[in-house]
Structure 1
Amino acid sequence: MSVTLAIALSALAMTIIIGVRYLLASAGFALATRIKHPGLYAGQDRQMRREIIWSLASAAIYGVPAGIVAWGWQNRGWTLIYADVNAYPLWYLPLSVFFYLFAHDAWFYWTHRWMHRPRPFRIAHAVHHASRPPTAWAAMSFHPIEAITGAVVIPSLVFAIPIHIGALALVLTIMTVMGVTNHMGWEMFPRSVHGGRLGGWLITASHHQRHHAEYRCNYGLYFRFWDRLCGTDKGLGTFDLPGDPKDGRGGAGVRDAGRRGGTGRA
């Protein structure tokens, strides 16, 4: 088998894996939403179909660099991914996970903030914000340009920061779960978490909901560090939940912000 064909097959395999991972995660949390908050996604069938189409297209884009890196790791030893847990001290395992999450969060914050400038928003990021309000299917609903900016992060980091294959799997799991749950329209964590000291530094659905409601704030992915440092952290948002006595505040904010546009500079 030629190298080119082997790499192409690796990219195809990674595309399938990423697509299936997205479908399973989003379907699981969409089902949880249906059980926990029946009717929350009522009237959004067309939007959800659009989110799935864009997300599967993004999976194909994510699969290309991932497939190239996977082939290079297995066949050429290109990366710093290691399989022997004793290759580095055990204390490095959790530290490497934090390094990856922090680096990914920094890249996401600045590219995400850039995409809220008028031209990039109009060309690319508007696809993601067309979900009004977002659902559990919206996590990878990106224009190809935005998908490319996200697809290169982890494949680039494996050339710079050593990581055990198991720790890398944990990073990818966290990335998937947070991407889905931050868009599903309700908070799965208790108030003691998202409204407490831990929630002051970690991003959950309540924090990201406000970004979709107001556009020009809360740009982070995992941590609130960059938002706090740069003055773009505007606190937690609210949700438009069926039967909630506060019904109307969170969801209405999302819809109204969507109509206004939100292409102004951060």
Structure 2
Amino acid sequence: MQAVPIILASMLAMTAIIAVRYLLSSGGFALATRLVRPGLYQGQGGQIGREVRWSLLSALVFGLPAGLVAWGWQNRGWTLIYTDLHAWPLWYLPLSVLAYLAAHDSWFYWTHRLMHRPALFRVAHAVHHASRPPTAWAAMSFHPWEALTGAVVIPVLVFLIPIHVAALGLVLTIMTVMGVTNHMGWEMFPRWLVRGRLGDWLITASHHQRHHEQYQCNYGLYFRVWDRLCGTDRGLSGDFAAPPAARKG
């Protein structure tokens, strides 16, 4: 019982960290959008306000299990997170990052498809798709039930797959950046990457925008592997060059 206040403090601290990370990352890319694509979010002030409110609630949903696991790692030796760089071979560092991204991507693809079942869509996923079109602030704009499906992924993986703390930080950074950039309404990556062989397997804003246009396709998070295997890949959006008033909902 003596540990309960410390655990609660850890949960609240992690919630604050996730909330600040969201505000800084989404705010940074929203500022970039204002500079690079002025007027793109014109008339979406009310929507952006809703996106921020849902996202801050999602930060709480993400922060609670993350704070518990962080406390357990520090105080009880839970998890397979390691700090000694030589505890595993150096070649394992990039492999562990790829393993986490692949596992997260697989979980996201199938839970995302499940969220598009009519009942679950109405109850939960409709919150995310209420962003029409999404903005950089929509990265964590989820109903709490949907946020919970994303909140458990990393806390579970750290019990299953060994990872260095720095590699875990890289995974979280990739997760944050791709979550924001895939929703911001314009493509930040060069055409040679997006339209080239690498782009055939990686998800960027051009790919995820098509999901927000057509719904029943392009469900992946990082990679197009599951979409290609399951026949749900519908290619890239051609809508990015259009002015705000002409963009599809």
Asked if residue 154 in structure 1 is aligned to residue 154 in structure 2, the reply is yes
Matched, 1:114 2:114: yes
**2:130 matched residue in structure 1:** 130
Is contact 1:39–1:242 with CA below 8 Å preserved after alignment?
A: no
Could you tell me which residue of structure 2 aligns to residue 75 of structure 1?
75
CA RMSD of aligned residues (A): 1.2
Residue aligned with 1:216, SS: coil
CA offset at residue 98 of structure 1? 0.2
Kindly report which structure 2 residues correspond to 1:131-210, keeping only aligned pairs within 5 A, or say none: 131-210=131-210
Amino acid at match of 1:205: A
Task: Report the 3-state secondary structure (helix = DSSP H, G, I; strand = E; otherwise coil) of the residue aligned with 1:86.
Answer: coil
1:241 Cα deviation after fit: 4.4
AA at the equivalent of 1:78: W
Count residues in correspondence.
Answer: 249
Instruction: Check whether the contact 2:40–2:243 (CA below 8 A) recurs between aligned residues.
Output: no
The letter of the residue matching 2:101 is L
- Percentage of pairs with the same residue: 72
Instruction: Name the residue aligned to 1:6.
Output: 6
Pairs within 5 Å for 1:14-25? 14-25=14-25
Structure 2 CA distance for aligned equivalents of residues 12 and 224 of structure 1: 35
Kept in 1: contact 2:48–2:138 (CA 8 A): yes
Work out the CA distance in 1 between the residues paired with 2:184 and 2:117.
Answer: 25
The answer to whether the 8 A contact 2:187-2:240 is kept is no
TM-score (norm 1): 0.92
8 Å contact 1:185–1:239 — kept in the other structure?
Answer: no
CA shift digits 1:54-75 (9 cap, x unpaired)? 0000000000000000000000
Counterparts of 1:69 and 1:93 in 2: how far apart (Å)?
Answer: 21
Secondary structure in structure 2 of the residue aligned to 1:87: coil
Aligned in 2, Cα 1:197/1:79: closer, same or farther, shift over 3 Å?
A: same
Matched, 1:63 2:63: yes
Q: Give the counterpart letter for 1:217 in structure 2.
A: C
- CA distance 1:195–1:240, change in 2 (3 Å): closer
Kindly indicate whether the alpha-carbon contact (under 8 Å) linking 1:186 and 1:239 is maintained by their aligned counterparts in 2.
no
Equivalence for 2:99: 99
Amino acid at match of 2:33: T
Deviation at 1:238, TM superposition (A): 2.4
Provide the C-alpha distance between the structure 1 equivalents of 2:60 and 2:113, rounded to a whole number of angstroms: 24
Give the aligned partner of residue 52 of structure 1.
52
Given that 2:29 and 2:136 are in contact with CA atoms closer than 8 Å, whether structure 1 keeps it comes out as yes
Hey, what does 1:237 align to over in structure 2? 237
CA contact (8 A) 2:209 2:237 kept: yes
1:2 to partner: Cα distance: 1.8
| Length-normalised TM-score, structure 2 | 0.98
Aligned to 2:224: 224
Residue identity matched to 1:64: L
**Using the alignment, how far apart are the partners of 1:112 and 1:106 within structure 2?**
10
CA contact 1:37–1:241 (8 Å) conserved in 2:
no
Q: In the alignment, which residue of structure 2 is the partner of 1:262?
A: none
Letter in 2 for 1:39: G
